[in-house]
Structure 1
Amino acid sequence: MPAPPARSSLYVYALTDPATAGHARRCPAVGDQGASVTVLVQDDLAAVVSPAAERPRARRRDLRAHQDVLNALLAHGPVLPMRFGMIAADEEAVRADMSARRAQNLSALARVAGRAEWNVKGESVPEALPELLREDAGLRALRASTRQRPGYEADVRLGQAIAAALQRRAEAAARDVVAHLDALAVDVRVGGAVAGGALNSSFLVAQSDEAPFRRAVQALAERHRGRIALTVTGPLPCYSFVGGDAVPAGQ
Protein backbone atom coordinates (compact mmCIF):
# COMPACT_ATOMS: atom_id res chain seq x y z
CA MET A 1 0.00 0.00 0.00
CA PRO A 2 1.48 3.40 -0.94
CA ALA A 3 2.41 5.72 1.91
CA PRO A 4 0.15 8.75 2.41
CA PRO A 5 1.39 12.12 1.17
CA ALA A 6 3.63 14.05 3.53
CA ARG A 7 2.41 17.16 5.33
CA SER A 8 4.15 19.37 2.77
CA SER A 9 2.18 17.79 -0.09
CA LEU A 10 -0.32 19.95 -1.93
CA TYR A 11 -3.69 19.19 -3.43
CA VAL A 12 -3.81 20.86 -6.86
CA TYR A 13 -7.15 22.09 -8.22
CA ALA A 14 -6.20 24.00 -11.34
CA LEU A 15 -3.86 26.31 -13.18
CA THR A 16 -5.07 29.73 -14.19
CA ASP A 17 -3.84 33.32 -14.38
CA PRO A 18 -2.99 35.22 -11.17
CA ALA A 19 -6.00 37.55 -11.42
CA THR A 20 -8.47 34.68 -11.68
CA ALA A 21 -6.83 32.49 -9.03
CA GLY A 22 -7.78 34.68 -6.08
CA HIS A 23 -11.49 34.07 -6.57
CA ALA A 24 -11.16 30.55 -5.12
CA ARG A 25 -9.60 31.58 -1.79
CA ARG A 26 -12.90 31.53 0.12
CA CYS A 27 -13.90 28.06 -1.07
CA PRO A 28 -13.75 25.08 1.32
CA ALA A 29 -10.70 22.91 0.72
CA VAL A 30 -10.66 19.25 -0.18
CA GLY A 31 -9.80 16.97 2.73
CA ASP A 32 -8.85 18.71 5.95
CA GLN A 33 -11.75 20.98 6.90
CA GLY A 34 -9.34 23.38 8.59
CA ALA A 35 -7.21 23.84 5.48
CA SER A 36 -7.38 26.90 3.25
CA VAL A 37 -7.32 27.20 -0.51
CA THR A 38 -4.24 29.19 -1.48
CA VAL A 39 -2.51 30.40 -4.63
CA LEU A 40 1.05 29.87 -5.87
CA VAL A 41 2.05 32.50 -8.44
CA GLN A 42 4.89 31.73 -10.82
CA ASP A 43 5.44 34.59 -13.27
CA ASP A 44 2.20 34.82 -15.31
CA LEU A 45 0.74 31.52 -14.10
CA ALA A 46 -0.97 30.58 -10.85
CA ALA A 47 -1.68 27.21 -9.27
CA VAL A 48 -4.68 26.92 -6.94
CA VAL A 49 -3.78 24.51 -4.12
CA SER A 50 -4.46 23.50 -0.53
CA PRO A 51 -2.51 21.42 2.03
CA ALA A 52 -2.86 17.66 1.56
CA ALA A 53 -2.38 16.01 4.93
CA GLU A 54 -3.74 12.74 3.57
CA ARG A 55 -4.66 11.22 0.26
CA PRO A 56 -8.22 12.41 -0.56
CA ARG A 57 -11.07 9.98 -0.93
CA ALA A 58 -13.93 10.47 -3.35
CA ARG A 59 -16.39 11.53 -0.68
CA ARG A 60 -19.33 13.69 -1.67
CA ARG A 61 -18.10 16.62 0.42
CA ASP A 62 -14.64 16.54 -1.15
CA LEU A 63 -15.93 16.05 -4.69
CA ARG A 64 -18.17 19.07 -4.18
CA ALA A 65 -15.32 21.12 -2.72
CA HIS A 66 -13.15 20.32 -5.74
CA GLN A 67 -15.92 21.32 -8.15
CA ASP A 68 -16.78 24.48 -6.20
CA VAL A 69 -13.20 25.72 -6.54
CA LEU A 70 -13.26 25.10 -10.29
CA ASN A 71 -16.65 26.79 -10.68
CA ALA A 72 -15.44 29.85 -8.76
CA LEU A 73 -12.47 30.12 -11.09
CA LEU A 74 -14.46 29.46 -14.26
CA ALA A 75 -16.79 32.35 -13.45
CA HIS A 76 -13.89 34.80 -13.65
CA GLY A 77 -11.35 33.53 -16.15
CA PRO A 78 -9.70 30.65 -18.03
CA VAL A 79 -9.02 27.44 -16.11
CA LEU A 80 -6.91 24.35 -16.70
CA PRO A 81 -8.68 21.95 -14.33
CA MET A 82 -7.11 18.98 -12.59
CA ARG A 83 -8.93 15.73 -12.10
CA PHE A 84 -10.02 15.00 -8.55
CA GLY A 85 -7.20 13.65 -6.41
CA MET A 86 -4.15 15.36 -7.97
CA ILE A 87 -1.39 15.59 -5.36
CA ALA A 88 1.93 17.38 -5.85
CA ALA A 89 4.95 16.52 -3.71
CA ASP A 90 5.43 20.08 -2.44
CA GLU A 91 5.40 23.74 -3.45
CA GLU A 92 8.74 23.46 -5.20
CA ALA A 93 7.43 20.67 -7.44
CA VAL A 94 4.43 22.75 -8.48
CA ARG A 95 6.55 25.79 -9.24
CA ALA A 96 9.08 23.72 -11.17
CA ASP A 97 6.36 22.19 -13.33
CA MET A 98 4.76 25.57 -13.99
CA SER A 99 8.11 26.92 -15.12
CA ALA A 100 9.00 23.89 -17.24
CA ARG A 101 5.66 23.88 -19.06
CA ARG A 102 5.00 27.61 -19.06
CA ALA A 103 4.54 27.98 -22.82
CA GLN A 104 2.28 24.93 -23.07
CA ASN A 105 0.12 26.02 -20.15
CA LEU A 106 -0.21 29.61 -21.38
CA SER A 107 -1.23 28.31 -24.82
CA ALA A 108 -3.86 26.05 -23.25
CA LEU A 109 -5.21 28.91 -21.14
CA ALA A 110 -5.48 31.11 -24.22
CA ARG A 111 -7.38 28.34 -26.00
CA VAL A 112 -10.06 28.04 -23.31
CA ALA A 113 -10.29 31.75 -22.42
CA GLY A 114 -13.88 32.93 -22.71
CA ARG A 115 -15.05 29.38 -23.36
CA ALA A 116 -16.46 26.47 -21.39
CA GLU A 117 -17.21 22.81 -21.88
CA TRP A 118 -20.75 21.59 -22.50
CA ASN A 119 -21.47 17.87 -22.39
CA VAL A 120 -24.37 16.38 -24.35
CA LYS A 121 -25.53 12.84 -23.75
CA GLY A 122 -28.23 10.92 -25.59
CA GLU A 123 -30.02 7.65 -24.92
CA SER A 124 -32.37 5.53 -26.96
CA VAL A 125 -36.08 5.83 -26.15
CA PRO A 126 -37.71 2.47 -25.31
CA GLU A 127 -41.13 4.13 -25.20
CA ALA A 128 -40.81 4.69 -28.96
CA LEU A 129 -41.48 1.00 -29.72
CA PRO A 130 -44.93 1.61 -31.32
CA GLU A 131 -43.42 4.15 -33.73
CA LEU A 132 -40.52 1.81 -34.43
CA LEU A 133 -42.86 -1.03 -35.31
CA ARG A 134 -44.79 1.20 -37.70
CA GLU A 135 -41.54 2.07 -39.48
CA ASP A 136 -39.88 -1.37 -39.52
CA ALA A 137 -41.70 -4.08 -41.46
CA GLY A 138 -39.05 -6.68 -40.63
CA LEU A 139 -39.50 -6.08 -36.92
CA ARG A 140 -43.28 -6.33 -37.25
CA ALA A 141 -42.88 -9.68 -39.01
CA LEU A 142 -40.53 -10.95 -36.30
CA ARG A 143 -42.97 -9.97 -33.57
CA ALA A 144 -45.83 -11.67 -35.39
CA SER A 145 -43.72 -14.83 -35.78
CA THR A 146 -42.84 -14.76 -32.08
CA ARG A 147 -46.49 -14.50 -31.15
CA GLN A 148 -47.35 -17.45 -33.37
CA ARG A 149 -44.51 -19.59 -31.98
CA PRO A 150 -43.81 -18.26 -28.49
CA GLY A 151 -40.85 -19.48 -26.50
CA TYR A 152 -37.81 -18.31 -24.57
CA GLU A 153 -35.42 -18.19 -27.53
CA ALA A 154 -37.96 -16.43 -29.72
CA ASP A 155 -38.57 -13.84 -27.01
CA VAL A 156 -34.82 -13.28 -26.63
CA ARG A 157 -34.37 -12.79 -30.39
CA LEU A 158 -37.25 -10.33 -30.48
CA GLY A 159 -35.93 -8.41 -27.50
CA GLN A 160 -32.46 -8.19 -29.01
CA ALA A 161 -33.84 -7.08 -32.37
CA ILE A 162 -35.93 -4.36 -30.73
CA ALA A 163 -33.00 -3.11 -28.64
CA ALA A 164 -30.71 -3.03 -31.69
CA ALA A 165 -33.28 -1.17 -33.77
CA LEU A 166 -33.88 1.42 -31.05
CA GLN A 167 -30.12 1.89 -30.72
CA ARG A 168 -29.70 2.38 -34.49
CA ARG A 169 -32.42 5.05 -34.50
CA ALA A 170 -30.78 6.80 -31.57
CA GLU A 171 -27.32 6.68 -33.16
CA ALA A 172 -28.65 8.11 -36.42
CA ALA A 173 -30.27 10.94 -34.47
CA ALA A 174 -27.02 11.44 -32.52
CA ARG A 175 -25.07 12.01 -35.73
CA ASP A 176 -27.52 14.72 -36.73
CA VAL A 177 -27.31 16.31 -33.28
CA VAL A 178 -23.50 16.46 -33.36
CA ALA A 179 -23.49 17.84 -36.91
CA HIS A 180 -25.76 20.71 -35.90
CA LEU A 181 -24.08 21.51 -32.59
CA ASP A 182 -20.62 21.39 -34.16
CA ALA A 183 -21.47 24.62 -36.00
CA LEU A 184 -21.88 26.39 -32.64
CA ALA A 185 -18.72 24.99 -31.03
CA VAL A 186 -15.03 25.73 -31.29
CA ASP A 187 -14.17 22.06 -30.92
CA VAL A 188 -15.79 18.69 -30.16
CA ARG A 189 -14.54 15.66 -28.24
CA VAL A 190 -16.21 12.26 -28.23
CA GLY A 191 -16.44 10.84 -24.72
CA GLY A 192 -16.40 7.26 -23.55
CA ALA A 193 -19.25 4.89 -24.23
CA VAL A 194 -22.13 5.08 -21.76
CA ALA A 195 -24.25 2.01 -21.02
CA GLY A 196 -27.44 2.31 -23.02
CA GLY A 197 -26.25 5.54 -24.56
CA ALA A 198 -25.96 6.63 -28.17
CA LEU A 199 -24.20 9.97 -27.64
CA ASN A 200 -21.59 11.31 -25.22
CA SER A 201 -19.81 14.32 -26.67
CA SER A 202 -18.28 17.45 -25.17
CA PHE A 203 -18.31 20.79 -26.97
CA LEU A 204 -16.01 23.74 -26.41
CA VAL A 205 -18.38 26.70 -26.59
CA ALA A 206 -17.67 30.43 -26.42
CA GLN A 207 -19.54 32.26 -23.68
CA SER A 208 -21.24 34.41 -26.31
CA ASP A 209 -22.67 31.25 -27.93
CA GLU A 210 -23.90 29.51 -24.78
CA ALA A 211 -27.51 30.67 -25.09
CA PRO A 212 -27.76 29.73 -28.79
CA PHE A 213 -26.13 26.39 -27.94
CA ARG A 214 -28.72 25.61 -25.26
CA ARG A 215 -31.54 26.61 -27.60
CA ALA A 216 -30.12 24.38 -30.32
CA VAL A 217 -30.01 21.39 -27.96
CA GLN A 218 -33.64 22.01 -26.99
CA ALA A 219 -34.69 22.27 -30.63
CA LEU A 220 -32.81 19.08 -31.54
CA ALA A 221 -34.35 17.25 -28.57
CA GLU A 222 -37.79 18.17 -29.89
CA ARG A 223 -36.85 17.33 -33.47
CA HIS A 224 -35.71 13.84 -32.49
CA ARG A 225 -38.31 13.15 -29.82
CA GLY A 226 -38.98 9.43 -29.83
CA ARG A 227 -35.55 8.66 -31.27
CA ILE A 228 -33.11 10.00 -28.70
CA ALA A 229 -33.43 11.58 -25.26
CA LEU A 230 -30.88 14.38 -24.82
CA THR A 231 -29.38 15.82 -21.64
CA VAL A 232 -27.00 18.77 -21.60
CA THR A 233 -24.65 19.77 -18.77
CA GLY A 234 -22.71 23.00 -18.57
CA PRO A 235 -20.92 25.26 -18.36
CA LEU A 236 -18.11 23.02 -17.12
CA PRO A 237 -14.36 23.45 -16.73
CA CYS A 238 -12.68 22.37 -19.96
CA TYR A 239 -11.47 18.92 -18.89
CA SER A 240 -11.81 17.51 -22.41
CA PHE A 241 -9.90 20.30 -24.14
CA VAL A 242 -6.74 20.91 -22.11
CA GLY A 243 -4.75 17.83 -23.13
CA GLY A 244 -4.62 16.13 -19.74
CA ASP A 245 -3.27 17.31 -16.42
CA ALA A 246 -1.40 20.56 -16.74
CA VAL A 247 0.86 19.94 -13.73
CA PRO A 248 2.21 16.35 -14.00
CA ALA A 249 3.78 16.34 -10.53
CA GLY A 250 1.10 14.20 -8.93
CA GLN A 251 1.71 11.09 -6.92
Structure 2
Amino acid sequence: MTPPETPTLTYAFAVCRGGALTALTALPGLDTGASVRTLTAGPLTAVVQDVPAAGFGEEALRRRLSDRDELERCARAHHTVITAASALAPTVPLPLATLYLDDDRAREALGERETSLLTALDRIAGRAEWGVKVYAPAGPPPPAPEAAPADGPANGPANGPASGRAYLDRVRTRQRSREQHHTLTLRAAERVDSAVRSLAVAARRLRPHGVEVTGKHRTQVLNVAYLLDLGRERELQAALASLRRDETDLQIELSGPWAPYSFADGGIADGGLTDGGTAAERRTSGRTPS
Protein backbone atom coordinates (compact mmCIF):
# COMPACT_ATOMS: atom_id res chain seq x y z
CA MET A 1 0.00 0.00 0.00
CA THR A 2 1.43 3.39 -1.01
CA PRO A 3 1.76 5.74 1.99
CA PRO A 4 -0.17 9.00 1.67
CA GLU A 5 1.79 12.05 0.59
CA THR A 6 2.74 14.51 3.30
CA PRO A 7 0.88 17.82 2.79
CA THR A 8 3.24 20.62 1.80
CA LEU A 9 3.23 24.39 1.41
CA THR A 10 5.15 26.51 -1.09
CA TYR A 11 7.83 28.63 0.57
CA ALA A 12 9.06 31.55 -1.58
CA PHE A 13 12.53 33.06 -1.19
CA ALA A 14 12.72 35.54 -4.04
CA VAL A 15 11.45 36.62 -7.44
CA CYS A 16 13.81 36.80 -10.42
CA ARG A 17 13.78 37.56 -14.12
CA GLY A 18 16.02 35.74 -16.55
CA GLY A 19 19.29 34.07 -15.67
CA ALA A 20 20.29 30.41 -15.51
CA LEU A 21 18.90 29.44 -12.12
CA THR A 22 19.37 25.68 -12.30
CA ALA A 23 22.37 25.90 -9.93
CA LEU A 24 19.98 26.82 -7.13
CA THR A 25 18.65 23.28 -6.99
CA ALA A 26 21.87 22.21 -5.25
CA LEU A 27 21.07 24.42 -2.25
CA PRO A 28 19.52 22.86 0.87
CA GLY A 29 17.38 25.92 1.52
CA LEU A 30 15.50 25.34 4.76
CA ASP A 31 16.83 21.77 4.87
CA THR A 32 13.40 20.15 4.71
CA GLY A 33 14.50 17.34 2.42
CA ALA A 34 13.02 19.01 -0.68
CA SER A 35 15.19 20.78 -3.24
CA VAL A 36 15.10 24.48 -3.91
CA ARG A 37 13.40 24.93 -7.29
CA THR A 38 12.00 27.58 -9.61
CA LEU A 39 8.38 28.40 -10.38
CA THR A 40 7.50 30.28 -13.56
CA ALA A 41 4.71 32.85 -13.59
CA GLY A 42 4.62 34.72 -16.90
CA PRO A 43 7.79 36.86 -17.18
CA LEU A 44 8.67 36.20 -13.53
CA THR A 45 10.41 33.28 -11.86
CA ALA A 46 9.99 32.57 -8.18
CA VAL A 47 12.63 30.68 -6.20
CA VAL A 48 10.68 28.31 -3.98
CA GLN A 49 10.84 25.15 -1.90
CA ASP A 50 8.26 22.64 -0.69
CA VAL A 51 8.00 22.62 3.11
CA PRO A 52 5.88 20.36 5.33
CA ALA A 53 2.58 21.94 6.28
CA ALA A 54 2.84 20.46 9.76
CA GLY A 55 6.04 22.37 10.45
CA PHE A 56 5.20 25.62 8.65
CA GLY A 57 1.52 26.22 9.29
CA GLU A 58 0.71 29.47 11.07
CA GLU A 59 0.83 28.15 14.62
CA ALA A 60 3.88 25.95 13.99
CA LEU A 61 5.62 28.81 12.23
CA ARG A 62 4.91 31.15 15.14
CA ARG A 63 6.52 28.70 17.54
CA ARG A 64 9.45 28.10 15.20
CA LEU A 65 10.29 31.77 14.77
CA SER A 66 9.83 32.61 18.44
CA ASP A 67 12.85 30.39 19.13
CA ARG A 68 15.89 32.62 18.69
CA ASP A 69 18.21 29.86 17.45
CA GLU A 70 15.62 28.57 14.99
CA LEU A 71 14.88 32.08 13.78
CA GLU A 72 18.57 32.68 13.10
CA ARG A 73 18.89 29.34 11.30
CA CYS A 74 15.91 30.11 9.06
CA ALA A 75 17.07 33.67 8.39
CA ARG A 76 20.54 32.50 7.36
CA ALA A 77 19.13 29.81 5.08
CA HIS A 78 16.73 32.33 3.54
CA HIS A 79 19.56 34.81 2.99
CA THR A 80 21.84 32.15 1.46
CA VAL A 81 19.27 31.30 -1.22
CA ILE A 82 18.61 34.97 -2.00
CA THR A 83 22.34 35.71 -2.27
CA ALA A 84 22.84 32.78 -4.63
CA ALA A 85 19.90 33.85 -6.80
CA SER A 86 21.04 37.48 -6.96
CA ALA A 87 24.43 36.33 -8.27
CA LEU A 88 22.66 34.72 -11.23
CA ALA A 89 19.87 37.18 -12.11
CA PRO A 90 18.15 40.39 -10.99
CA THR A 91 16.42 39.33 -7.77
CA VAL A 92 13.72 40.80 -5.54
CA PRO A 93 14.16 39.29 -2.06
CA LEU A 94 10.95 38.28 -0.30
CA PRO A 95 10.46 38.55 3.47
CA LEU A 96 11.33 35.63 5.69
CA ALA A 97 8.52 33.04 5.86
CA THR A 98 6.58 34.01 2.72
CA LEU A 99 4.31 30.98 2.33
CA TYR A 100 1.54 29.86 -0.03
CA LEU A 101 -0.91 26.99 0.08
CA ASP A 102 0.47 25.67 -3.20
CA ASP A 103 2.16 26.64 -6.46
CA ASP A 104 -1.09 27.88 -8.00
CA ARG A 105 -1.63 30.33 -5.16
CA ALA A 106 1.98 31.52 -5.48
CA ARG A 107 1.54 32.08 -9.23
CA GLU A 108 -1.68 33.97 -8.55
CA ALA A 109 0.08 36.25 -6.06
CA LEU A 110 2.93 36.90 -8.52
CA GLY A 111 0.44 37.69 -11.27
CA GLU A 112 -1.40 40.18 -9.06
CA ARG A 113 1.83 42.09 -8.51
CA GLU A 114 3.52 41.51 -11.84
CA THR A 115 3.78 45.20 -12.76
CA SER A 116 5.31 46.31 -9.44
CA LEU A 117 7.70 43.35 -9.39
CA LEU A 118 8.90 44.07 -12.92
CA THR A 119 9.42 47.72 -11.98
CA ALA A 120 11.49 46.66 -8.97
CA LEU A 121 13.54 44.27 -11.10
CA ASP A 122 14.24 47.05 -13.61
CA ARG A 123 15.42 49.30 -10.77
CA ILE A 124 17.85 46.80 -9.26
CA ALA A 125 19.19 45.11 -12.41
CA GLY A 126 22.97 45.48 -12.61
CA ARG A 127 23.14 46.98 -9.12
CA ALA A 128 23.90 45.92 -5.56
CA GLU A 129 23.14 47.25 -2.11
CA TRP A 130 25.85 48.55 0.22
CA GLY A 131 25.41 49.59 3.82
CA VAL A 132 27.22 52.47 5.51
CA LYS A 133 27.02 52.94 9.26
CA VAL A 134 28.56 55.90 11.06
CA TYR A 135 29.31 55.97 14.77
CA ALA A 136 30.46 58.62 17.20
CA PRO A 137 32.45 57.50 20.23
CA ALA A 138 30.27 57.84 23.29
CA GLY A 139 33.19 58.92 25.51
CA PRO A 140 32.94 59.37 29.26
CA PRO A 141 29.80 61.08 30.57
CA PRO A 142 30.19 64.79 31.27
CA PRO A 143 31.15 65.56 34.85
CA ALA A 144 28.25 66.25 37.15
CA PRO A 145 27.87 69.91 38.14
CA GLU A 146 29.11 70.82 41.55
CA ALA A 147 26.37 70.88 44.11
CA ALA A 148 24.85 74.29 44.61
CA PRO A 149 25.96 75.69 47.93
CA ALA A 150 23.32 76.25 50.55
CA ASP A 151 22.36 79.85 51.14
CA GLY A 152 22.32 81.22 54.62
CA PRO A 153 24.23 83.34 57.08
CA ALA A 154 26.53 80.47 58.09
CA ASN A 155 27.91 80.36 54.56
CA GLY A 156 28.62 84.01 54.31
CA PRO A 157 27.64 86.41 51.52
CA ALA A 158 29.89 84.70 48.97
CA ASN A 159 27.54 81.73 48.99
CA GLY A 160 24.44 83.76 48.32
CA PRO A 161 22.52 84.41 45.08
CA ALA A 162 25.67 85.16 43.06
CA SER A 163 27.07 81.71 43.81
CA GLY A 164 23.76 80.10 42.81
CA ARG A 165 23.82 81.92 39.49
CA ALA A 166 27.38 80.73 38.87
CA TYR A 167 26.28 77.15 39.46
CA LEU A 168 23.41 77.47 36.97
CA ASP A 169 25.79 79.06 34.43
CA ARG A 170 28.10 76.03 34.69
CA VAL A 171 25.16 73.70 34.11
CA ARG A 172 24.06 75.67 31.03
CA THR A 173 27.61 75.77 29.67
CA ARG A 174 27.94 71.99 29.88
CA GLN A 175 24.55 71.54 28.22
CA ARG A 176 25.52 73.90 25.37
CA SER A 177 28.79 72.02 24.94
CA ARG A 178 26.98 68.70 24.61
CA GLU A 179 24.53 70.17 22.11
CA GLN A 180 27.30 71.75 20.03
CA HIS A 181 29.26 68.47 19.96
CA HIS A 182 26.12 66.58 18.87
CA THR A 183 25.44 69.14 16.11
CA LEU A 184 29.01 68.90 14.81
CA THR A 185 28.79 65.10 14.81
CA LEU A 186 25.55 65.13 12.82
CA ARG A 187 27.05 67.55 10.30
CA ALA A 188 30.04 65.27 9.84
CA ALA A 189 27.71 62.31 9.30
CA GLU A 190 25.80 64.31 6.69
CA ARG A 191 29.07 64.91 4.83
CA VAL A 192 29.62 61.15 4.73
CA ASP A 193 26.10 60.60 3.42
CA SER A 194 26.45 63.30 0.78
CA ALA A 195 29.72 61.85 -0.52
CA VAL A 196 28.35 58.31 -0.83
CA ARG A 197 25.05 59.48 -2.34
CA SER A 198 27.02 61.10 -5.16
CA LEU A 199 28.09 57.59 -6.22
CA ALA A 200 24.72 55.87 -5.73
CA VAL A 201 21.60 55.69 -7.86
CA ALA A 202 19.37 55.51 -4.76
CA ALA A 203 19.68 55.66 -0.99
CA ARG A 204 17.47 54.79 1.95
CA ARG A 205 17.96 55.92 5.53
CA LEU A 206 17.38 53.18 8.04
CA ARG A 207 16.63 53.50 11.74
CA PRO A 208 19.88 53.82 13.71
CA HIS A 209 20.63 50.91 16.03
CA GLY A 210 20.31 51.42 19.75
CA VAL A 211 22.81 50.72 22.48
CA GLU A 212 21.74 47.07 22.68
CA VAL A 213 23.34 46.58 19.24
CA THR A 214 26.11 49.18 19.18
CA GLY A 215 27.29 48.79 22.78
CA LYS A 216 27.78 51.60 25.26
CA HIS A 217 31.10 52.77 23.86
CA ARG A 218 29.66 54.34 20.69
CA THR A 219 26.47 55.88 19.28
CA GLN A 220 25.21 55.23 15.76
CA VAL A 221 24.47 58.53 14.04
CA LEU A 222 23.90 57.31 10.47
CA ASN A 223 22.58 54.06 8.99
CA VAL A 224 21.99 54.17 5.24
CA ALA A 225 21.58 51.64 2.45
CA TYR A 226 22.87 52.69 -0.98
CA LEU A 227 22.11 51.17 -4.37
CA LEU A 228 25.21 51.27 -6.59
CA ASP A 229 25.87 50.15 -10.12
CA LEU A 230 28.06 47.06 -10.25
CA GLY A 231 31.70 47.96 -10.77
CA ARG A 232 31.75 51.07 -8.55
CA GLU A 233 33.10 49.26 -5.50
CA ARG A 234 36.58 50.78 -5.78
CA GLU A 235 35.17 54.30 -6.01
CA LEU A 236 33.06 53.66 -2.93
CA GLN A 237 35.96 52.26 -0.94
CA ALA A 238 38.24 55.13 -2.00
CA ALA A 239 35.60 57.70 -1.01
CA LEU A 240 35.21 56.13 2.43
CA ALA A 241 38.98 55.94 2.92
CA SER A 242 39.19 59.68 2.25
CA LEU A 243 36.28 60.36 4.60
CA ARG A 244 37.93 58.36 7.37
CA ARG A 245 41.03 60.55 7.04
CA ASP A 246 38.98 63.75 7.14
CA GLU A 247 36.35 62.83 9.74
CA THR A 248 38.64 61.54 12.44
CA ASP A 249 36.00 61.77 15.17
CA LEU A 250 33.77 59.25 13.40
CA GLN A 251 33.88 55.49 12.90
CA ILE A 252 32.69 54.60 9.40
CA GLU A 253 31.76 51.01 8.54
CA LEU A 254 30.96 49.55 5.12
CA SER A 255 29.12 46.29 4.49
CA GLY A 256 28.13 44.57 1.27
CA PRO A 257 27.55 43.90 -1.45
CA TRP A 258 24.08 42.67 -0.53
CA ALA A 259 21.11 41.57 -2.52
CA PRO A 260 19.03 44.77 -2.78
CA TYR A 261 16.78 44.18 0.23
CA SER A 262 16.19 47.89 0.84
CA PHE A 263 15.24 48.68 -2.76
CA ALA A 264 12.99 45.75 -3.67
CA ASP A 265 9.62 47.48 -3.39
CA GLY A 266 6.90 45.60 -5.12
CA GLY A 267 7.42 42.34 -3.28
CA ILE A 268 4.61 40.08 -2.20
CA ALA A 269 2.59 41.97 0.38
CA ASP A 270 0.64 39.10 1.89
CA GLY A 271 1.16 35.45 2.57
CA GLY A 272 -1.01 32.86 0.90
CA LEU A 273 -1.77 30.22 3.50
CA THR A 274 -5.46 30.64 2.76
CA ASP A 275 -7.24 31.97 -0.26
CA GLY A 276 -8.57 34.64 2.05
CA GLY A 277 -5.03 35.98 2.39
CA THR A 278 -4.11 35.01 5.95
CA ALA A 279 -0.68 36.57 6.49
CA ALA A 280 1.82 33.82 7.13
CA GLU A 281 4.89 35.79 6.31
CA ARG A 282 6.93 37.59 8.95
CA ARG A 283 8.17 41.02 8.05
CA THR A 284 11.61 40.01 9.19
CA SER A 285 14.45 40.63 6.76
CA GLY A 286 16.32 37.52 5.73
CA ARG A 287 19.57 39.44 5.67
CA THR A 288 21.81 38.47 8.52
CA PRO A 289 23.38 41.25 10.57
CA SER A 290 26.73 42.48 9.35
Regarding TM over 0.5, the answer is yes
When residues 190 and 105 of structure 1 are mapped into structure 2, their CA distance, relative to the original with a 3 A threshold, is same
When residues 126 and 158 of structure 1 are mapped into structure 2, their CA distance, relative to the original with a 3 A threshold, is farther
Instruction: For 2:172 and 2:12, locate their aligned partners in 1 and report how far apart those are by CA, in whole Å.
Output: 51
When residues 162 and 48 of structure 1 are mapped into structure 2, their CA distance, relative to the original with a 3 A threshold, is farther
Instruction: For 2:34 and 2:175, locate their aligned partners in 1 and report how far apart those are by CA, in whole Å.
Output: 53
Residue correspondence of structure 1 range 81-100 to structure 2 within 5 A? 81-100=93-112
1:188 is paired with a residue whose SS is strand
Residue correspondence of structure 1 range 24-103 to structure 2 within 5 A? 24-30=24-30, 32-53=31-52, 54=56, 55=61, 57=65, 58-103=70-115
Deviations 1:115-134 (A, max 9, x none): 0111111111235x7xxxxx
When residues 166 and 9 of structure 1 are mapped into structure 2, their CA distance, relative to the original with a 3 A threshold, is farther
Instruction: For 1:157 and 1:20, locate their aligned partners in 2 and report how far apart those are by CA, in whole Å.
Output: 65
Residue correspondence of structure 1 range 74-223 to structure 2 within 5 A? 74-127=86-139, 146=145, 149=146, 164-195=179-210, 196-223=219-246
Which amino acid in structure 2 is aligned with residue 25 of structure 1?
Answer: T
Which amino acid in structure 2 is aligned with residue 206 of structure 1?
Answer: D
Structure 2: 5+ residue runs without aligned partners? 1-5, 149-167, 211-218, 273-279, 281-290
Bigger Rg, which one: 2
When residues 101 and 59 of structure 1 are mapped into structure 2, their CA distance, relative to the original with a 3 A threshold, is closer
Which amino acid in structure 1 is aligned with residue 15 of structure 2?
Answer: L
Q: Report the identity percentage.
A: 27
Instruction: For 2:110 and 2:116, locate their aligned partners in 1 and report how far apart those are by CA, in whole Å.
Output: 9
Say which of 250, 253, 262 aligns to 1:231.
253
Deviations 1:78-114 (A, max 9, x none): 1100122222222111101222222221121111001
When residues 167 and 46 of structure 1 are mapped into structure 2, their CA distance, relative to the original with a 3 A threshold, is same
- Moved beyond 3 Å, runs of 4+: 156-167, 246-250
Instruction: For 2:39 and 2:251, locate their aligned partners in 1 and report how far apart those are by CA, in whole Å.
Output: 44
Give the alignment's TM-score, normalised by structure 1: 0.79
Q: Are the equivalent residues in 2 in contact too, given 1:191–1:201 (CA < 8 A)?
A: yes
* Structure with greater helix percent: 1
Instruction: For 2:246 and 2:13, locate their aligned partners in 1 and report how far apart those are by CA, in whole Å.
Output: 39
Structure 1: 5+ residue runs without aligned partners? 1-5, 130-141
When residues 85 and 169 of structure 1 are mapped into structure 2, their CA distance, relative to the original with a 3 A threshold, is farther
